[in-house]
Structure 1
């Protein structure tokens, strides 16, 4: 076997391969021998049928398997000699081995570009100090008390207020005809928590326990159910029970009921520590991003289109999934998939550029991912998604997702190395919307 390497671009390589007839014959003969041993032929003992009979019956299968096996051996050998890792699938010409004839084929693949690494060790970076206020902790405790509150029916007969829980039934009508899909019995709703449309909550707040009411309501234009988006209906509601929340006393008993806390003070400490950890991780990630942005600003290299497309597809999928979790559809935003491709293009390119840089750092520093680290990743993913870990591994293996996981872990190690060697200067924290909104992370310590 001989091959010739053609540099198509800094990120794409083409390899032309020539296979002599002798090597093609050897591959075909070896495959015929395998079929001869495992196939049954009438009139012959197993494994004793003439090769001509075997070839006649299984010609298509033999040629296909022999060709695939030989090409795989060639490609693995060539890729090893070239020392390149493909970032896309390897595109191979469609060929078939023919007895006593040489064969020529070519394959192409995309890979990371070659470039000189800039200085990435010993860099200066600022990182915000971690600050947790008493109001942060108090806000979490208030939510815990709310979750532990007892629901008791109202003593007085009046409409519900924000913070109270209503058990109701409702149905929508258009010109006196029920609207399909907009009906529920004994539906429980907590008012004032944006669980329902504002117009619907406003209507519910006009009806006392045991009463009925109706009023006009218009579904928003970006409503996830497009058959209802923008439609005006008459909503009828029947309120069965209104319950108010009675908060438990702010004491040790509440802390013990909330979780495995000895006392209220221990619960405060746990929430504070959880906040400390989440904000420390947040500030550290911000500092790491500053380091990478500064390094990447000094680099300029072409990007493999397949890698950019992979990240672009993931960004679009994540965006659509977030919309759906908020009860909206892509159509309701007025955006299109093609528009999202343009919108997220720069971000996808930046992710691809960062990945290539970090993989080069990992290679230069001799970083590796051990099997136990892969196992740990899948165990954590299993717990997060509530899926069987063996099933997850099998899915990743069958869909060629194991190598991307390994590369991600390698990139994470490279980031940690760069950060560990940086000159980190602590600076006063700056309040932000992001920090104010991460209480949910702190509540993981509850």
Structure 2
């Protein structure tokens, strides 16, 4: 392989290589193709697969193996030429054969290279950064999840009230005829949950165990069963039993039952810290997104079309892989969405351009900061991933592209450097009755906040608790009196 010439087109970020594959390499390629394909070639007088190469070339022409030999050789020759010239290729090259003969062949490879940009500014960028102020209500809402899980239902001998659970047998009728899926036995309905259609739960209130009554309701106009949508129906209902919620007392014993802490005060303090950590992580992520957007605004070049197409291909492949994990093919998804591949690629163009710009600006920062990721850094990251995923190390490294991982780590460090050098405009966000109040943080408050963060020691995390299993749906339950806000499209079902 010999690179005969190199021509650069800087405006389109393309490099044109003229590559020559000599007679010795070409001959070896032809012979390899012959050995691979001779078994499928029939020649009179020879057993199948035993005909000499010269005989086959005599029958079909001396160039019978040329095309396959070129397909065999040019990808590696092209890759070797790109590496020899130190090009950072960002898309599959366009290849054109310009000379072919028994002495070898010559091809032109048009290589799209990564644009190199210079940032006007990446240090001292200013963006809003929220410092969360956690209210007692926020902690109580977090605590409520543990209370709900610990709450038990006990059978009571009285009329059902809102907040109780009623165990029901029911059967639905439309125009006096029972409709399919409108019945259930022993269904436990939480009154006040608004899971059934409007008016049903309210009419269950007041029923005792053994009571029977007919409930008149109408299905919503957008109910998923068209023959029932908007129609008046009757449900014959029998109350089997009424259950009352037994909410545990919020005390130290409760804290011991649901956490590793000995007191309720310690448990609530831990919950508060978890909320702070969660909101701080979200705040930092949004802060970095704002900084990254500012960097991308400095990129005013027209990106190479081949580079954008390659990024779109990656997005499509990644999306197809995620669908496949859910047991859905891309073809099925397209049918549900009533979309073709061209429309999908068009929709993905803007995200692809944004991602490319983000990569370019972070690469520029990495270069300016002289960020270098070593093999040891990669190894440490792989081991950390194996530990986090709780999978064998060998499984993580299988098929791992270490150079791509190096690039990702360098970009992560570049983003961290931009954030560290930025000037955040600190604001506080306080939840108060569902409303967020935002106020500017003064310099003194900022210093005080930093001092508190340094002094604060994180407490150990609580062990996760198993969630209660959901009650399985009854067979044929789709037409039961459950509430629906509107009819879901097939596309939304696929998205779920």
- Tell me whether the two structures share a fold, i.e. TM-score over 0.5: yes
Q: Residue 154 and residue 340 in structure 1: after superposition, are their counterparts in 2 closer, same or farther (change >3 A)?
A: farther
**Residues of 2 paired with 1:28 and 1:377: CA distance?**
45
Match for residue 165 of structure 2?
165
- 1:264 deviates by 1.1
Of the three residues 68, 78, 103, the one matched with 2:81 is 78
**Residues of 2 paired with 1:339 and 1:226: CA distance?**
31
Moved more, 294-303 or 104-113: 104-113
Q: CA RMSD in A?
A: 5.1
Match for residue 24 of structure 2?
22
Q: Superposition pairs for residues 212-227 of structure 1, below 5 Å?
A: 213-219=214-220, 221=222
- 1:129 deviates by 2.5
Q: Superposition pairs for residues 46-195 of structure 1, below 5 Å?
A: 52=53, 67=70, 70-89=73-92, 100=102, 102-106=104-108, 111-158=113-160, 160-162=161-163, 164-168=164-168, 184-193=184-193, 195=195
- 1:25 deviates by 0.7
SS in 1 for 2:429: coil
Match for residue 475 of structure 2?
none
SS in 1 for 2:285: helix
**Residues of 1 paired with 2:179 and 2:21: CA distance?**
70
Per-residue CA deviations over 1:210-240 (Å, capped at 9, x if unaligned) read: 445444443564x7x6878956474745543
Q: Residue 21 and residue 147 in structure 1: after superposition, are their counterparts in 2 closer, same or farther (change >3 A)?
A: same
Is 1:370 aligned to residue 374 of structure 2? no
Match for residue 305 of structure 1?
308
Per-residue CA deviations over 1:91-144 (Å, capped at 9, x if unaligned) read: 666x8x998353344555655323222321243444232322222112222231
**Residues of 2 paired with 1:169 and 1:213: CA distance?**
12
Note the residue ranges of structure 1 that are not aligned, 5 or more in a row.
37-48, 57-61, 322-329, 437-443
Q: Residue 393 and residue 420 in structure 1: after superposition, are their counterparts in 2 closer, same or farther (change >3 A)?
A: same
**Residues of 2 paired with 1:238 and 1:208: CA distance?**
9
Match for residue 418 of structure 2?
418
Match for residue 361 of structure 1?
365
Mapped contact 2:172–2:182 kept (Cα < 8 A): yes
**Residues of 2 paired with 1:363 and 1:244: CA distance?**
65
Q: Superposition pairs for residues 234-249 of structure 1, below 5 Å?
A: 234=233, 236=235, 238-249=238-249
- 1:24 deviates by 0.7
Per-residue CA deviations over 1:402-439 (Å, capped at 9, x if unaligned) read: 87766554433321121123344544336597989xxx
Mapped contact 1:4–1:17 kept (Cα < 8 A): no
Mapped contact 1:121–1:418 kept (Cα < 8 A): yes
Per-residue CA deviations over 1:190-214 (Å, capped at 9, x if unaligned) read: 3444555556655655755444544
Q: How many residues align?
A: 402
Q: Residue 371 and residue 144 in structure 1: after superposition, are their counterparts in 2 closer, same or farther (change >3 A)?
A: same
Per-residue CA deviations over 1:10-62 (Å, capped at 9, x if unaligned) read: 356665544233321133346778999xxxxxxxxxxxx99749999xxxxx9
Mapped contact 1:170–1:238 kept (Cα < 8 A): yes
Match for residue 40 of structure 1?
none
**Residues of 2 paired with 1:244 and 1:54: CA distance?**
92
Q: Residue 172 and residue 119 in structure 1: after superposition, are their counterparts in 2 closer, same or farther (change >3 A)?
A: farther
Q: Residue 366 and residue 406 in structure 1: after superposition, are their counterparts in 2 closer, same or farther (change >3 A)?
A: closer
- 1:6 deviates by 6.3
Mapped contact 2:133–2:429 kept (Cα < 8 A): yes
Q: Residue 35 and residue 313 in structure 1: after superposition, are their counterparts in 2 closer, same or farther (change >3 A)?
A: closer
SS in 2 for 1:130: strand
SS in 1 for 2:133: coil
Match for residue 39 of structure 1?
none
Q: TM-score, normalised by structure 2?
A: 0.62
Note the residue ranges of structure 2 that are not aligned, 5 or more in a row.
39-49, 58-64, 325-332, 438-460, 465-496
Match for residue 271 of structure 1?
271
**Residues of 1 paired with 2:195 and 2:248: CA distance?**
24
Match for residue 45 of structure 1?
none
Q: TM-score, normalised by structure 1?
A: 0.68
Q: Residue 260 and residue 120 in structure 1: after superposition, are their counterparts in 2 closer, same or farther (change >3 A)?
A: same
Mapped contact 1:128–1:430 kept (Cα < 8 A): no
**Residues of 2 paired with 1:409 and 1:139: CA distance?**
37
Mapped contact 1:200–1:217 kept (Cα < 8 A): no
Mapped contact 1:214–1:235 kept (Cα < 8 A): yes
**Residues of 2 paired with 1:434 and 1:91: CA distance?**
56
- 1:357 deviates by 1.7
